[in-house]
Amino acid sequence: MTRSSAPSRSLCCAGFIALLLLASGCEERERQATSGPAANTQEISAAPGDSAEKPPAILNPAKRFPGLNVSDRAPDARLTQPGGRSVSLRTIYANGPTVVIFIQGSWRREDRAFLSAVQVELDAIRAAGGQVFAISPEPIEVVERMAEDLGLQFYALSDSRDEAMTGFHVAFDTSKDLEGPEFEFGDVVPEEVSASGSPLLPGPSLFVVGREGLVRFAYCNWKPQDRPVASEIAGFVEVHR
């Protein structure tokens, strides 16, 4: 009788521990299901190479936040510059740490305000060794007018083929049924103002790409008002110059 009591107590303890682990696992799954996706914000010195999980080129905002991860290789893409000529992103990266800012368009008040704030910090960003490129899906003529209106002294380019936004994995399809004020465009019909004529828009995102072409800082979100403070950009560049 005495010999059998120890195994019984062990079985009871094991059963109790198993119940605790099961309850803990259920609680964690419930927490993840109700909390939703977290913003993709990364700034680390990661080992070179692509991350294991690649987001799709066109994202579903209900399921995940946009953007490549730190240490991913930044894509090459052909962009349209003032005057209508094409320029390669790979050529741009080679000139030093590159701040890549995706905007949805000159019609978006938050985008214009952020670019104006970046202009104020431009000297500090350049002193840190960085260069700034804003990328819009609008035709280059519209982008040029916006840059002139805002007095921008950094490059503003047109993603006229949607190559940059899909390459950085920040594109979403505005023709889908999306909920939230960040997906309300007022009188703007994205495919009518887009250079490519597609319904794609980029999520408001900011990357720092190193000279070697790897993403060194990434901030990606669906809400334009949640971008980093412009005065922080020089610090991001300085760390990864």
- Give me the pLDDT at residue 125, please: 97
**How many other CB atoms are there within 10 angstroms of residue 108's CB atom?**
18
- Give me the pLDDT at residue 225, please: 78
Eight-class DSSP state of 107 = T
Q: Which CATH class is domain 37-239?
A: alpha beta
- Give me the pLDDT at residue 60, please: 55
Residues 78, 88 contacting (CB under 8 angstroms): yes
- Give me the pLDDT at residue 239, please: 81
Query: What SS3 state is found at 219?
Result: strand
Find, among 48, 40, 56, 43, the residue nearest to 167 by Cα. Answer: 56
- Give me the pLDDT at residue 40, please: 52
As a whole number of angstroms, the distance between CA 217 and CA 210 comes to: 9
**How many other CB atoms are there within 10 angstroms of residue 181's CB atom?**
7
Residues 221, 227, 232: CA angle, nearest 5 degrees: 135
Task: For residue 167, give every residue at least 6 positions away whose Cβ sits within 8 Å of its Cβ, in sequence order, or none.
Answer: 57, 74, 75, 76, 77, 89
- Ranges of beta strands (E only) in the chain are 40-42, 58-59, 78-80, 86-88, 98-102, 131-136, 155-158, 171-173, 200-202, 205-209, 215-220
Q: What is the pLDDT along the chain (241 residues), one digit of tens a residue?
A: 434 444 444 434 444 334 334 344 434 333 333 333 445 554 433 334 444 455 556 655 555 556 888 999 999 999 999 999 999 999 999 998 999 999 999 999 999 999 999 999 999 999 999 999 999 999 999 999 999 999 999 999 999 999 999 999 999 888 887 777 677 777 888 888 899 999 999 988 999 999 999 999 998 877 777 888 999 999 999 887 7
